[in-house]
Structure 1
């Protein structure tokens, strides 16, 4: 059951972020996107270079999730992006709020499943291991 839940959540997040990232490049380059983005959402992105960076991260993380490689890294990178998406759709543009909630649910599910990969981040006093450098 956990394997199926992991697969479904990972695929949903991967497909959404890969599609949204590619779609974002069409908006940046002035081509009509596949999915229309609201004017309220686009007013936030006054600096195109920030949008290029974010959409690049979305494409990379979408590919990582779909290929099942470096999933915890992709989840860590996507966490602030998903938080911003949720807040944007709560406060400015509720048209895609359902999609934002689906993203949060899938991301949270994967965070719980991959929680052992993140536990070291929550250590109060992490152990620092300095490797011995052999003298020649």
Structure 2
């Protein structure tokens, strides 16, 4: 089996979210972004606090993925962001659709690899304390 594939997927996902989060924070603070940002993506964030929250979460989770710390938590936190990125590029802005597919692929693969960490979340009856 390919033992290096989870490492590559984690590094790719962590790097993309770290760079995208930092790029978004540059936009928030009025600095020139180092990666062009689409108008469609920026239009979704009508409220600045939402953009700050999402971009800060992307940076934090990207760093955690790169450091191999709290990976299941990071994957869970990034899942709705990844789905929104994918849907944005499928329906509104096709310019980064290959990157959105890469995010879905890496995220889905890592969720599969770490699936045992999520089993207790899906229990019908929780353990009594």
TM-score by length of 1: 0.91
CA distance in 2, matches of 1:5, 1:125: 35
Mapped to 1, the partners of 2:12 and 2:118 lie a distance apart of 21
Q: Which residue of 2 aligns with 1:67?
A: 67
1:13 aligned residue: 13
SS of 2:72's equivalent in the other structure is helix
Structure 1 residue ranges (4+ consecutive) displaced by more than 6 angstroms after TM superposition: none
Q: What SS is found at the alignment partner of 1:61?
A: helix
In the superposition, the TM-score normalised over structure 2's length comes to 0.96
1:1-136 alignment, distance < 5 Å: 1-128=1-128, 130=129
Q: Which runs of 5+ in 2 are unaligned?
A: none
Unmatched 5+ stretches in structure 1: 131-136
Higher-Rg member (1/2): 1
Provide the rounded CA distance (Å) in 2 between the counterparts of 1:8 and 1:32.
Answer: 30
Computed over aligned residues only, the root mean square deviation of the Cα atoms, in angstroms, reads: 0.9
